[in-house]
Amino acid sequence: MNAPVPAPSFAPGEHCGSALRTPRIIILGAGMSGLLTGIRLRRAGIENFTIYEKATEVGGTWRENRYPGLACDVPAHYYTYSFEPNPDWQHRFARGPEIQNYLRRVADKYDLRRHIIFGEEGVDAHFDGRRWQLRLRSGREDSAEFLIAACGFLHHPREPEIPGLDSFAGARFHSARWDDSVDLHGKRIGMIGTGSTGAQITCSVSRLPCQLKVFQRTAQWVFPLPDREYPLVERELVTEFPGLARFAYRVYDELFDALFSRAMIRPGIQRRLVEAACHWNLRRVRDPELRRRLTPDYQPMCKRIIMSWEYYEAMQRSTVELVTDGIERIVPEGVVTQDGRTHPLDVLILATGFKTHEYVRPMELTNAQGQTLSAAWEARGPHAYCSLAIPGFPNFFLLGGPHSPLANGSVILYTEALVDYVTQCIALYRRGEFDTLAPTRAATDAFCEGLRRNMAGTVWVTGCQNWYIGKDGLPEVWPRRPREFNALLARPRLEDFELSRTPQAA
């Protein structure tokens, strides 16, 4: 490893001298983080970048998901870019199409579409010692000094491994691949999955003239945060006075930090308050037997908590039946549970989440030594330095990677810190401080060990199975407040990186 290079004394994008290099940058994905990266690069005076998007429009998960009741479980005025408030939110919890429209407007306002190539999906990329060589599914090839994966982790649907699943004779689809051609009116509908997606679908579909059976493997805790529709006069007021939206952002930021963030990482009054609210909400279920079956056997927040005022009301509707017997198999006519009962169905909905540990995969990365990312992660599972950089894979950044603050809160908040960090690294490259950088294994191991030490006392190790759990049996989440994560990313610690200067660039 070369001698440490001093951290830059300039802000991201600040020009220091006249001989700045202009790297080529490839961004994978035009969702929230990909668009943000494009904005930051343009603000830094960098125009030589391309965003490859597999779909035909921007939006990421808010484009992919179209199920009834789709909404963000973070208040809308908090689920925005900090620099781009939106006065047009129509609900406290923005509906999916609202967020998609917001991201479209952002792409247009910041003139990002001329940098986006739609309908192109990365297949593999290898680092040749100087540049990343990318191959896309269409056969197109591209290369760049920097490769940034802004793919997200909620885009590869996970289907349950249930015998006979493919034999079902009715309409069957995953919540992230919603079939708009299926009319649910008058149908016998079964839904597998009771996480946030399942709860939102239940609240919406239960209002239709149909029969809904909810197959529950694990009960969920539900925090009673009520939704509301913003009236036109209120939206016009926020449009006239944009500072109101910024004020709302700050209020929600303080609320989530003071309550949920602290409740998750340490026992104390905040955790007791969240637990009390969840227990109070559960008591709104009038039938004692139904309440018993809806009562989780683990501590609130150990799994991602559901934010809903309506869920328990929906579960008590006469058209909804909760099934808690395990599923034995699927047959053409419906679902057979372990009590021997066959549940006839016309439609089967799989609200079973995503392959959250895939990250940039199934696209494969190969470094200059011939090692693939899958091989690098084989023994320990996905891991990264500060969630965004991987030893042995120079000039590659993964936004929203392992160990990010994935629990309840605004993903945009910490993604801005990640993107600013990447922008600072690219600014150093432009000054000629390095040609390639990758975190050292020692620094990455130290970061991961620090996560393990700080995991004690968090709610995620109190005893439950959740989608945060990694290959080593520990949660792949940041075990401290998101603000501390952002503080960690304030400046690159170049002593934690291997830096090189290639002879060709000397």
Contact 437, 391 (CB under 8 A): no
Which has more pLDDT, 143 or 152? 143
> Residue 504 pLDDT > 60, yes or no?
no
CATH 3.50.50.60 fits 25-58+112-156+355-505, yes or no: yes
The tens digit of pLDDT for each residue in 20-49 reads: 899 999 999 999 999 999 999 999 999 999
Mean pLDDT (the chain) is: 90
Query: CA distances (Å), 188 to each of 206, 211, 279, 301, 467, in order?
Result: 11, 5, 31, 32, 29
Nearest Cα to Cα of residue 293 among 275, 273, 310, 316: 316
The tens digit of pLDDT for each residue in 286-337 reads: 999 999 999 999 999 988 899 999 999 999 999 999 999 999 999 999 999 9
Nearest Cα to Cα of residue 387 among 459, 312, 478, 307: 478
* Cβ neighbours of residue 359 closer than 8 Å, sequence gap 6 or more: 149, 151, 153, 382, 398, 400, 401, 402
CATH code 3.50.50.60 region(s) in the chain: 25-58+112-156+355-505, 165-350
What would the mean pLDDT of 233-256 be, rounded to a whole number?
A: 93
> Residue 7 pLDDT > 50, yes or no?
no
> Residue 210 pLDDT > 70, yes or no?
yes
What would the mean pLDDT of 86-108 be, rounded to a whole number?
A: 96
Structure tokens at 143: 């290369």
Bridge partners of residue 418, in order along the sequence: none
Bridge partners of residue 500, in order along the sequence: 436
Would you state the CATH architecture of domain 165-350? 3-Layer(bba) Sandwich (3.50)
> Residue 6 pLDDT > 70, yes or no?
no
What would the mean pLDDT of 138-151 be, rounded to a whole number?
A: 96
Q: How far apart are the first and last CA of the chain?
A: 17
Nearest Cα to Cα of residue 115 among 64, 63, 62, 46: 46
pLDDT confidence of residue 476 = 76
Q: Is the dihedral of CA 130, 134, 140, 145 positive or negative?
A: negative
Nearest Cα to Cα of residue 36 among 109, 123, 125, 120: 109
Give the Cα separation of 449 and 70 in Å (integer).
37
What would the mean pLDDT of 188-212 be, rounded to a whole number?
A: 96
> Phi, psi at residue 186, to the nearest 5°?
75, 10
* From 29-43, 57-71, 79-93, 453-467, the region with the lowest mean pLDDT: 453-467
What would the mean pLDDT of 121-134 be, rounded to a whole number?
A: 95
Contact 44, 112 (CB under 8 A): no
